[in-house]
Amino acid sequence: MPPAPPPQQPKNRSRVPTPTGENRRPQRRMESRNASERAAFFARREAAAVLRRVLRGDATRRAAGSIKSLVYSPTVRNKRATFALVCQTLKYLPILKEVLASSEILSSKWKKQEELVYVTTYDILFGQGIAVSGSVEQLIMLQKDSLRTTLDKVCARKRVRCVEDLLSNKSAVKPKPRFLRVNTLKVTTESVIEELNKMHMVDKDEMVPDMLVLPPGTDLHNHPLVTDGKVFLQGRASCMVAVALCPKPGWKVIDACAAPGNKTVHLAALMNGEGSIIACELNKERAKTLQHTVRRSGANNIRIVNGDFLEVDRNDPSYAEVHAILLDPSCSGSGISTERLDYLLPSHSRDSQDDAGTSSRVMKLSAFQKKALSHALSFPSVERVVYSTCSIHQAENEDVINSVLPLATSLGFELATPFPQWHRRGLPVFQGSEHLLRTDPEDGLEGFFIALFVRKAGPTSEEPSEDATVEVRTKQVRGRRNGVRAFSSLRLSRMILW
Residue among 7, 27, 20 at smallest CA distance from 134: 7
* Active-site residue list: 390
- Based on CB atoms, which residue is closest to ligand SAM, 238 or 417? 238
- What does R_g of the chain's alpha carbons equal in angstroms? 25
Nearer to ligand SAM, 176 or 286 (CB): 286
Q: Least separation, in Å, of the C-beta of 439 and ligand SAM?
A: 15
3-state SS assignment for residue 204: strand
Q: What is the DSSP string of 299-351?
A: --SEEEEES-GGGS-TTSGGGTT--EEEE------TTSTTTTTGGGSTTHHHH
Residue 155 labeled ligand binder: no
Residue 328 vs 466, nearer CB to ligand SAM: 328
> With respect to ligand SAM, which residue has the nearer C-beta, 38 or 181?
181
For residue 309, the minimal CB distance to ligand SAM (Å) is 4
Q: Cβ of residue 335: shortest distance to ligand SAM, in angstroms?
A: 11
261 is in an annotated binding site: yes
Compute φ and ψ for 213, nearest 5 degrees.
-125, 125
Q: Which is nearer to ligand SAM, 51 or 294 (CB)?
A: 294
d(CA 293, CA 287): 10
Burial grade of 342 (CB within 10 A; 0-12, 13-18, 19 or more): buried
Question: Chain-centre distance of CA 225, in angstroms?
Answer: 19
How far is residue 351's CA from residue 361's CA, in Å, rounded to a whole number? 10
CB of 465 to ligand SAM, least distance (A): 24
Of 51 and 270, CB closest to ligand SAM: 270
Residue 329 class from Cβ within 10 Å (0-12 exposed, 13-18 middle, 19+ buried)? buried
With CB atoms as reference, the residue minimizing the distance to ligand SAM is: 257
Contact 253, 214 (CB under 8 A): no
131/479 Cα distance (integer angstroms): 57
351 annotated ligand binder: no
User: Has 306 been labeled as part of a binding site?
Assistant: no
The answer to whether 328 is a known ligand-binding residue is yes
In angstroms, the CA 382 to CA 453 distance is: 10
Measured CA distances, 387 to 316, 327, 374 (Å): 23, 5, 11
Count how many Cα atoms sit within 13 Å of the Cα of residue 279 in the half-sphere of its side chain. Answer: 31
Contact 189, 204 (CB under 8 A): yes
Binding site for ligand SAM (CB under 6 A): 238, 257-263, 280-283, 286, 308-310, 328-330
In the complex with ligand SAM, which residue's Cβ is closer, 57 or 329?
329
DSSP states of 415-440 as a string? EE-SSTT-S-B--SSSTTGGGSEEE-
Residue 317 annotated as lining a ligand binding site = no
**Residue 445 C-beta: closest distance to ligand SAM, Å:** 15
Does 129 carry a binding-site annotation?
Answer: no
Min separation Cβ 330 and ligand SAM, Å: 4
H-helix or E-strand spanning residue 281: strand 276-281
User: Closest distance between ligand SAM and the C-beta of residue 19, in Å?
Assistant: 31
258 annotated as belonging to a binding site for a ligand: yes
Distance between CA atoms of residues 42 and 145, nearest Å: 24
Residues making up the annotated binding site for S-adenosyl-L-methionine are: 257-263, 281, 308, 328
Residues making up the annotated binding site are: 257-263, 281, 308, 328
